[in-house]
Structure 1
Amino acid sequence: MDLLSHYRRMAANNLWSNDRLYRAVHALQPGEFEAERTSFFPSIKATLNHVLLVDLYYLGMIEQDGVGRAILDRYSDFDDSAELAAEQAAFDRRLLAFCEALGEGDLDRQVFTDRGENGQIPEHVGDLLAHLFIHDIHHRGQVHAMLSGASVQPPQLDEFFLDFDWKLRRDEVTRLGLHVETEA
């Protein structure tokens, strides 16, 4: 698998994993979404809002959308998990479309990242995408752990479109409209 294909699969996995996680979040009892929990952020709500905010920040820098760090001031936390899920899904589809449009040389292209007092720092697109994916995986893991202390069983998130698991995930992948190549 070449690196461009890997990033495209990571973007598809991001959409799929977030969809699975949010379906579990939607099944929480009233008050559990915002309930205080032990983690880096104090609730599932705070963690998932952080994920979306950072996603918007990094992809905005990669796309050079001109917003930069201003997104940090413009963003308002979502109190409703359904609204947050819809925004995250829209972002995930935007990220997937971006990755699907990547061409040779794009991963090595440098963009300037607005780092506030530290100025405009050049970064490679591939490095920023890798950071975004790792960041999302990290915080999804925290939400997964927080769900363990809630009324909902955490969903399985540690698959990567393996042929072995394809029969278990085909309906979800199809529902999301993902085109993931597999041998199965």
Structure 2
Amino acid sequence: MTQLFVPQAYNNAWSNYRLHRACGGLTAKELTQARPSFFGSIIATLNHILIVDWFYVSALEGACIGSAAFDPEVPHPELPALRAAQREVDRRLIAVTEDATLSDPLRIVRMLRDSGVQEERFDRTFLHLIQHQIHHRGQVHALLSMTTTAPPQLDEFYMAWDAEARLRAPDLAEMGVTEDDIWRGR
């Protein structure tokens, strides 16, 4: 099972990369413009993705930061700093999945909640985080369709047959990632 976590973490980083790159084509006004969504704007939704990553990745690393992750609600109101912070936490998630001890599916992860400590297995916590990110990236994708910037394709996964496809190869090169990184030992 742990062999599935690494490619999912890389795919998560790739999806975040593509989404942030597309958002880079927006003006500051377009990023912050009120839109019909749960968080009210593209930048607020992107910040929510980051904040929840901070919470869960710190828990997966074994040192949950608890409610500190959620303060402030929009820690990065400008995209360049947000992109850098997202890339950093994406790298941390990849590192967790590449560590056999940390990514043991049955390892108990402790999350500091206001109501106490929530305990859950690594596999369930990791999959919950991935599902959360997919959900909110989909929201940003929909919000982008209300702008002049085309939403990026996000429904791709790393398939062997398209390793050199124009869709993936340039992105991975720009991210500093190789196919061997993604599929090492798999």
TM-score, structure 2 length as denominator?
Answer: 0.88
Secondary structure of the equivalent of 1:151? coil
Question: In structure 2, how many angstroms separate the alpha carbons of the residues matched to 1:111 and 1:30?
Answer: 38
Query: How much has 1:59 moved relative to structure 2?
Result: 1.3
Q: Could you tell which deviates more after superposition, 97-106 or 157-166? A: 97-106
1:126-165 correspondence runs (5 A): 126-165=123-162
Structure 1 residues 110 and 174 mapped into 2: Cα distance closer, same or farther (>3 Å)?
Answer: same
Letter of the 1:115 counterpart? R
- CA offsets 1:58-107 (integer angstroms, 9 cap, x no match): 11122232522232236652111111000000110111111111349711
Query: How much has 1:35 moved relative to structure 2?
Result: 0.5
Question: In structure 2, how many angstroms separate the alpha carbons of the residues matched to 1:42 and 1:74?
Answer: 16
Counterpart in the other structure of 1:47: 45
Structure 1: any 5+ residue segments left out of the alignment?
A: none
Letter of the 2:54 counterpart? L
Are 2:90 and 1:92 aligned?
A: yes
Question: In structure 1, how many angstroms separate the alpha carbons of the residues matched to 2:182 and 2:156?
Answer: 13
Letter of the 2:171 counterpart? E
- CA offsets 1:107-164 (integer angstroms, 9 cap, x no match): 10112221212x1121111111111111001000000000000110000010001234
Question: In structure 2, how many angstroms separate the alpha carbons of the residues matched to 1:88 and 1:171?
Answer: 19
Structure 1 residues 110 and 104 mapped into 2: Cα distance closer, same or farther (>3 Å)?
Answer: closer
Structure 1 residues 104 and 96 mapped into 2: Cα distance closer, same or farther (>3 Å)?
Answer: closer
Q: Could you tell which deviates more after superposition, 49-58 or 67-76? A: 67-76
Letter of the 2:40 counterpart? P
Question: In structure 1, how many angstroms separate the alpha carbons of the residues matched to 2:69 and 2:103?
Answer: 28
Structure 1 residues 75 and 34 mapped into 2: Cα distance closer, same or farther (>3 Å)?
Answer: closer
Counterpart in the other structure of 2:2: 4
Query: How much has 1:28 moved relative to structure 2?
Result: 0.7
Structure 1 residues 77 and 108 mapped into 2: Cα distance closer, same or farther (>3 Å)?
Answer: same
Letter of the 2:57 counterpart? L
Q: CA RMSD in A?
A: 1.9
Question: In structure 2, how many angstroms separate the alpha carbons of the residues matched to 1:95 and 1:52?
Answer: 12
Question: In structure 1, how many angstroms separate the alpha carbons of the residues matched to 2:31 and 2:103?
Answer: 42
Letter of the 1:137 counterpart? I
Structure 1 residues 66 and 9 mapped into 2: Cα distance closer, same or farther (>3 Å)?
Answer: closer
**Between Structure 1 and Structure 2, how many residues are aligned?**
179
Letter of the 2:182 counterpart? V
Question: In structure 1, how many angstroms separate the alpha carbons of the residues matched to 2:25 and 2:103?
Answer: 43
Query: How much has 1:177 moved relative to structure 2?
Result: 2.4
Are 2:121 and 1:124 aligned?
A: yes
